[in-house]
Amino acid sequence: MSERRDGPNARLPRLPAEWYRGRAWVHWSMTVDRRATGWLDSLRHARIREVLVDALGRYGIVCPAYCVMPDHAHFLWAGVAERSNQPLGARLLRTAWNAELKHHGFRLQRQGYDHVLREEERKRGAVMAVAAYIWENPVRAGLVAEWRQYPFLGAVVPGYPDLDPRCEDFWDVFWRIYAALGDDGAGGSGENLTVSATEEATEEATDGATKDSAEGEGPRISSERGEDQIAP
């Protein structure tokens, strides 16, 4: 986990690079410099999602939860193969995001903050609690009364554009997709991380979940089945 240092130009020390590679789970936080606001709208949110799809697909990562706030954002990322490289994905995202912010005369803070989930934190119930914390940010900030009302949050898994945490069966669908992506048949090399590798395993669950609307129960912090199972 990055830890804060004093001084305006101090960089945040990070764990060794290998902690962010492979099947790591990391909670990333990125903040606009000087907490500047006024740049976030539907177009900018769509652009961030577009870059997320590119970064996640390129570096073998999935994002079961994110929330873009007016002055910062949270992303929960999980590597799905040995080749997964989260720092490179974060760099790509930050570069593109800074390009968008530049139009408003803003930029991200020099370095983001991250927390690498340890073994106990990677149990499914714990992962789902981190996701719920991320999605509840707008409620804590007083922007909405209920997290589902906030338009700039969600989940991103390349190849599954309709995956939405507002759907009642979101977690069932996500865990199936995550398990299928990890079983790439190439010793974790990531060579076969394609949509076709997961379609058969998740088609039925995805069809059911994407028919749900925002009236669904949304994310469940715990589950009767597998809440203590450690994500691979």
Domain-embedded: residue 208: no
Give the pTM. 0.75
Q: What is the phi/psi pair of residue 174, to 5°?
A: -60, -45
CA distances (Å), origin 118, targets 180, 203, 223: 22, 31, 20
pLDDT digits (tens, 9 = 90+) for 6-44: 343 445 566 777 888 999 999 999 999 999 999 999 999
Domain that holds residue 123: 17-165
Rounded to whole angstroms, how far apart are CA atoms 149 and 135? 10
Domain-embedded: residue 90: yes
Contact 77, 28 (CB under 8 A): yes
* Token reading at 225: 């089945």
Q: How many domains does the chain have?
A: 1
The kind and range of the H/E element at 170 are helix 170-182
Strand partners, 21: 85
What CATH number does the domain containing 62 carry?
3.30.70.1290
Domain-embedded: residue 147: yes
Domain-embedded: residue 103: yes
pLDDT digits (tens, 9 = 90+) for 94-141: 999 999 899 889 999 988 899 999 999 999 999 999 999 999 999 999
Domain-embedded: residue 140: yes
Domain-embedded: residue 176: no
